[in-house]
Amino acid sequence: MSGIADVALRAGVSKSTASRALSGAGHTSERTRTRVLAAASELGYVPSTNAVSLATGRTRNIGVVMPRVNRWFFAEVLEGIQATLLARGYDLTLYDAKPGSPERARVFTEFFARKRFDGLIAVGIEPVDDEIGQLQAVGRPIVSVVGAQDQPGVVGIDDVRASRRATEHLLGLGHRKIAFLGAGDAEVWANVDRLRLEGYRAAMSDAGLSASILHVPSPVTLPGGYAAAVDLLSDDRRPTAILAVCDEVAIGAIIAARRLGIAVPASLSVVGIDDHEFAEMFALTTLRQEPQEQGALAARVLLETLQHPDNPTLIEPMPARLIVRNSTASVDPSQL
């Protein structure tokens, strides 16, 4: 456990010189610098992060809050953030904040107040009431991933546009009876769900099909989509196509269709949003978003902000490309 004092001693300089040589800040002669560096590596010197933080006020640590980690999207975003921070030598402190839970309240008050991080990445956090103020009160830069597109510092795709595009794909195939599957009432993702529903509605309206708009609520999970689809598809007057709020729901719907003996895509087209890791296996047509990239971008933007606090970075919405696989086809004329 040798400290900078030991290094200084061994290099025959003062602590301050050693510090300068090691951190690169301030002037040091080439000769002493190499001597200090040598001494440090010989001793296996590792600076105490606590002492550094105390003296400088920076932690080299980033906080990440998300409502949960056991969902494909969140896990992917987390990996993207992690990789980027790691490359820059930053640590990552994770905070779990399930909506409405008492733990969440503690995170927002107690844990955030400790300010153990230089900046915060909020993923899929839709702050309610006082949470907004609590986030502000942290007094550290914040970047969000998925959230209201109108706020600054938000990384994500344009959800309205994505689901509109997906709907148009189905319309282009001749479908008229298109159901939107997903987005129950009090969901985690309420915001995103709402935006995607909106895109679907807009596309339907534009096609003169306002009357055919059909919003089927479903839990936003694979089993949830399965169950909801079983109900929906058991009806005689079932739709010819389904737009799911995300791939997990879409895949649930495909599995439901198979079980009911409904051929996909011959008798039913299904399109999702995400390009989930299972999408290929189910030949799912979907709008691809890349959560790892979103996480990486969020991290980059945040680190950039830390370096140049008054250099506000404008974040462009990320692209969402239509990936056509084999879950969508032209509508069967007999079904019209």
Partner DNA sequence: TTGTAAGCGTTATCAA
Partner DNA sequence: TTGATAACGCTTACAA
Binding footprint of its own copies on the chain (CB under 8 A): 46, 48-51, 53-54, 59, 61, 68-70, 72, 75-76, 78-79, 82-83, 86-87, 89, 91-96, 103, 106-107, 110-111, 113-116, 221-223, 226, 255, 258-259, 277-278, 280-281
Per rule CB under 7 A, is residue 5 in the interface with DNA?
A: yes
The site partner of 240 among its own copies, DNA, none (C-beta below 5 to 8 Å per kind) is: none
Pick the closer one to its own copies by CB: 83 or 132: 83
Residues 202-231 that bind DNA (CB under 7 A): none
Q: Are 7 and 23 in contact (CB under 8 A)?
A: no
Helices (H), strands (E): how many in the chain? 13, 11
**Residue 17 class from Cβ within 10 Å (0-12 exposed, 13-18 middle, 19+ buried)?**
buried
Q: Which residues share a beta bridge with 61? A: 91
Pick the closer one to its own copies by CB: 207 or 306: 306
Long-range contacts: 220-224, Cβ < 8 Å, 24+? 220/182, 220/183, 220/184, 220/187, 220/188, 220/189, 220/193, 220/245, 220/246, 220/248, 220/249, 221/248, 221/249, 221/252, 222/248, 222/249, 222/251, 222/252, 222/255, 223/252, 224/249, 224/252
Per rule CB under 7 A, is residue 44 in the interface with DNA?
A: no
Binding mask 256-295 for DNA (x = CB under 7 A): ----------------------------------------
Binding mask 14-43 for DNA (x = CB under 7 A): xxxx-xxxxx-xxxxx-xxx----------
Give the CA angle between residues 204, 208, 212 to the nearest 5°: 60
The site partner of 72 among DNA, its own copies, none (C-beta below 5 to 8 Å per kind) is: its own copies
Among the listed residues 34, 38, 41, 48, the single contact to DNA using CB under 7 A: 48
Query: CB of 115: closest distance to DNA in angstroms?
Result: 11
Residue pointed to by tokens 């090691």: 22
- Contacts with DNA by CB under 7 A lie at 1, 3-5, 12-17, 19-23, 25-29, 31-33, 45-48, 51-52, 54-56
